[in-house]
Amino acid sequence: MSIQEDLAAELKDALKAKDQPRKNAIRSVETDVARARSEPGFDGEIDDDLYLTVIAGYVKKMTKAIAEYEGLGERGQEMAAKLRYETDYLSRWLPQKLSEEATRDLVTAAISELGVDDPKQAGRVMGHIMQAHKSDVDGSMVKRLVDEALGG
């Protein structure tokens, strides 16, 4: 079953169950897919690759927004919880990323392989890891771990 078909079935179920949070998450993705499809120059197909790209972008945006809402203290907790649900729910369609421990091992190996010990060369280490493992790792986690390892 394609992601589009799976989301359509999920939306139908959410509507029947009056599951507002799930319905909102699915409709947000469908809106972003429609927006991407209507972009000038879009000539691709509406397939799993498009849905994966849209879902990954949406989850990334909402993850940043969660941090901002949490920074507001008690006032932002309700919205942060809503967005956390959406990111958790939608992440099931995304490929799994490496754990922090496995990512730390990649960082250590890359630093050793490149012979880097200067915090100013963190970008070189990041580039090396992202080039080889972009779909396997979380870029922000890699950056944080490289900075920690190099003392930056």
Q: According to CATH, what is the number of the domain 100-150?
A: 1.10.10.410
What pLDDT, on a 0 to 100 scale, did the predictor assign at position 117?
87
Rounded Cα distance, 123 and 137, in Å: 16
Name the residue ranges covered by the structural domains of the chain. 3-93, 100-150
What pLDDT, on a 0 to 100 scale, did the predictor assign at position 8?
95
The CA distances from residue 134 to 31, 78, 88, 140, in Å, are 26, 32, 21, 11
What pLDDT, on a 0 to 100 scale, did the predictor assign at position 134?
80
Residue 104's CB is within 10 A of a number of other CB atoms, namely 17
Strand ranges inside 12-98, DSSP E: none
Q: According to CATH, what is the number of the domain 3-93?
A: 1.10.1510.10
Please give the model's pTM, rounded to 2 decimal places.
0.71
| Backbone phi, psi, residue 138, to 5° | -90, 115
What pLDDT, on a 0 to 100 scale, did the predictor assign at position 26?
96
What pLDDT, on a 0 to 100 scale, did the predictor assign at position 107?
92
Domains 3-93 and 100-150 share a fold: no
What pLDDT, on a 0 to 100 scale, did the predictor assign at position 152?
65
What pLDDT, on a 0 to 100 scale, did the predictor assign at position 151?
83
Per-residue pLDDT tens, the chain, 152 aa: give them: 899 999 999 999 999 999 999 999 999 999 999 999 998 888 878 888 899 999 999 998 998 999 899 999 899 999 999 999 999 999 999 888 888 999 999 999 999 999 988 889 889 999 999 998 887 888 888 999 999 998 86
Own/partner contacts of 143-151, CB < 8 Å, gap of 24 or more, are 145/100, 145/103, 145/104, 145/107, 146/107, 146/111, 146/122, 147/119, 147/122, 149/104, 149/107, 149/108, 149/111, 150/111, 150/116, 150/117, 150/118, 150/119, 150/121, 150/122, 150/125, 151/119
